[in-house]
Amino acid sequence: MRFGMAERIRARAKHVLAVGATALLLPIVAGGSAPAHAAPAGGFEELTVQSSMGPIKVQVQWAKRGGGAALYLLDGMAARDDRNAWSFETNALQQFAEDDVTLVMPVGGLSSWYQDWAAPSNTNGQKLTYKWETFLTRELPDFLAGYGVSRTNNAVAGLSMSGSAALQLAAYHRDQFKYAASYSGALNISAPGMREAIRVAVLRWGAYNIDSMAPPWSPQWLRMDPFVFAPQLRGLPMYISAGGALPGEFNRPQNVGQVFDTGVGMGIEAVTLLNTRAFQYRLNTLKIPATYSFPATGTHTWKYWEVELSKSRPGILSALGIG
């Protein structure tokens, strides 16, 4: 009798240990690389997201009431490694502070055009290969899903370099993005001289070799050109803008350097204005509607994009079903 009781006690102890071990393992198996969290309601946070490019910082302002919708805000050509410029060059955080939408601001991507590059740049010692489209459409949404952010109810907005990228992401990932906005974007990359201009720009910002992104004969150049993939935007709500390339309310140069910068901003904006007008013509030809904004003044600077973001905000919220 005593022996039988001891055996039963030992068997019971083994069962309890096995159940406990299984319970400890379940979150690891179920959660994968992105363990589930309660959806935050409001507040700002900086996350570290693992990717094929290594760890990527992502700044997040959580939806006011813990909702699942998200707006991806992409940075410009001179993207920094410490902060996304939307978070400090504009009042984007304040604009959406009371809205039930999470702002997702990836950090980094200098001169990347938010593309999946073919190889590391061989002119600046780059060690990794840019894989930004993969990050923005697979790795990052998978990670954010662990925080309750929807994989399918998202908008994306970009300026300058990322204006075309925003449209591209929405065109090829319609299951993820319901709205796209481009402010002063390069929307006619196949136009004469545009590839050469992009080559010079990525050399200027970071000494990158554009051939490492896509060789001259690569079909990637057509894939990333909004003028070419425009038919795939049918049915997508869009906001498209470019300034008039003339100094306006946010241009108050006080010295020679600022006068020079204003002139450069005027020149770049003139190019993006021509690109955007050509893209407008392309959409009109295809009978694809979009909301356009072409203010008479405005150079290639952040405060003008802040205004355009504010003007596109109602459309963003409407497309995401946020009242």
Span 1-58, pLDDT tens digits:
444 444 443 444 444 334 343 333 333 333 334 445 666 888 999 999 999 999 999 9
In this predicted structure, what is the pLDDT of residue 45?
96
pLDDT digits (tens, 9 = 90+) for 270-290: 999 999 999 999 999 999 999
Tokens of 311: 């003007």
Q: Which amino acid is at 106?
A: P
- Of these residues, 133, 139, 269, 306, which one is catalytic? 269
Residue 311 · residue 293 · CB < 8 Å: yes
pTM of the predicted model as reported, rounded to 2 decimal places: 0.88
- Residue/partner pairs of 283-291 with CB below 8 Å, 24 or more apart: 283/230, 283/233, 286/230, 286/231, 286/234, 288/230, 288/231, 288/233, 288/234, 290/237, 290/238, 290/239, 290/240, 291/237, 291/238, 291/239, 291/240, 291/315
Angle at 120 between CA 222 and CA 33, to 5 degrees: 95
Q: What is the 3-state secondary structure (H, E, C) of 135-195?
A: HHHHHHHHHHHCCCCCCCCEEEEEECHHHHHHHHHHHHCCCCEEEEEEECCCCCCCCCCHH
Domain ranges within the chain, ordered by starting residue: 32-319
Give dist(CA 85, CA 285) in Å, integer.
35
Residues 6+ apart with CB under 8 A from 14: none
CB neighbour class for 54 (10 Å; exposed up to 12, middle 13-18, buried from 19): exposed
**Is residue 293 among the annotated active site residues?**
no
Strands 70-73 and 154-159 turn out to be: parallel
Q: Tens digit of pLDDT for each residue in 160-209?
A: 999 999 999 999 999 999 999 999 999 999 999 999 999 999 999 999 99
CATH code assigned to 32-319: 3.40.50.1820
The DSSP output letter for 131 is B
For residues 240-260, give the mean pLDDT: 89
Report percent pLDDT > 70 for the chain. 88
Q: 91, 125, 130: which is closest to 110 by C-alpha? A: 130
User: Dihedral of the CA atoms 90, 93, 95, 96 (nearest 10)?
Assistant: 150
pLDDT of residue 262: 86
Q: Is 170 exposed, middle or buried (0-12, 13-18, 19+ CB in 10 A)?
A: buried
| Buried/exposed 174-206: b ≥16 CB within 10 Å, e otherwise | eebbbbbbbbbbbbbbebeebbeebbebbbeeb
Question: For residues 281 and 248, what is the distance between their CA atoms, to the nearest angstrom?
Answer: 26
- Does residue 321 register a pLDDT over 60? yes
111 is catalytic: no
Q: Are 310 and 95 a contacting pair, CB within 8 Å?
A: yes
Determine which one of 300, 306, 308, 312 is catalytic.
300
CB of 199 closer than 8 Å to CB of 176: no
Spot the catalytic one: 87, 111, 121, 160: 160
Name the amino acid, one letter, at 168: Q
For the question of residue 160 being annotated catalytic, the response is yes
- Mind listing the pLDDT tens digit for each residue in 114-169? 999 999 999 999 999 999 999 999 999 999 999 999 999 999 999 999 999 999 99
Q: Which pLDDT score, from 0 to 100, does residue 38 have?
A: 62
Which residue type does 304 have?
Y
